[in-house]
Amino acid sequence: MSLLEVRDLTAGHGLLTAVREMSFEVREGETVALVGANGAGKTTLLRTLAGAHHATSGSVVFDGADVTHLPAYKRVRRGVALVPEGRRLFGDMTVEENLLVAGRRARPGPWTLQRVLEAFPMLEPLRGRRGASLSGGEQQATSIGRALMTNPRLLLVDEVSLGLSPVAVDAVYASLAHLTDDDGATLVLVEQDLGRALTVADRVICVLEGRIVLEAPSDRITRDEVTAAYFGVDRV
């Protein structure tokens, strides 16, 4: 059974429709990469799945229950966690405090402060550092760790690589691989780097102007085919 079922989902900003009648499913344990140019609607889609943005029409079914009209905090309790674009840490709070705050209303589950620090070894020496003083990669790790503290069944990660050095991207992906391989986590992530998306994801969904234009298992699609869909170019 699918963990997530998205049916004809539409969402927008005022008069602008950013997500147009999107339908797709995500199975438990699967990693799905959302790719598409800037402004294609990926962030609006993730925020709508998390309940941080209102759906105009269509539905979001999580673990068999319709959550379309549930606010974000209630979706968190059911196991949906969003790592937002820009990371949005509490800058004046330490890494440890950022993690503990997220854990306060957590679902019961395996993720504790200790476990997050084990999954992201780079955070252990930074426990007492303020969020605002961290590098981009350290902030991204803290932001993912914060989402894990809620014990999610579905982790939505926006712009994993944005603003990170190649070394930091590798470190963050190593931790994500650990989550999917060892813990069977279900991931939907936005990734601008197509090569990376095809490597880490089981399936790639390409979005163009708010619509899904290509959906395929990563091992049955070429980078050229994704690039063509990405730019809306028809290749014969």
The residues binding ligand ATP (CB under 6 A) are: 13, 16, 18, 36, 38-44
CB 199 to ligand ATP: min, Å: 20
CB 155 to ligand ATP: min, Å: 17
CB 158 to ligand ATP: min, Å: 7
Residue 208 DSSP code: E
CB nearer ligand ATP, residue 35 or residue 95: 35
Residues 6+ positions from 133 with CB-CB distance below 8 Å: none
DSSP states of 115-144 as a string? Answer: HHHHH-GGGGGGTTSBGGGS-HHHHHHHHH
Nearest to residue 43, comparing CAs of 207, 228, 231?
Answer: 207
Gap between the Cα atoms of 113 and 100, Å rounded: 7
CB 56 to ligand ATP: min, Å: 13
Task: Note the residue count of the chain.
Answer: 236
CB nearer ligand ATP, residue 153 or residue 158: 158
CB nearer ligand ATP, residue 37 or residue 122: 37
Tokens of 199: 């490597």
CB 37 to ligand ATP: min, Å: 7
Dihedral Cα 12, 203, 179, 138, nearest 10 deg: -50
CB nearer ligand ATP, residue 45 or residue 95: 45
Helices (H), 68-205: 72-78, 95-103, 113-119, 136-148, 166-183, 194-200
CB nearer ligand ATP, residue 13 or residue 104: 13
CB 47 to ligand ATP: min, Å: 8
First to last CA, the chain: 35
Q: Which helix (H) or strand (E) holds 230?
A: helix 223-231
CB nearer ligand ATP, residue 2 or residue 17: 17
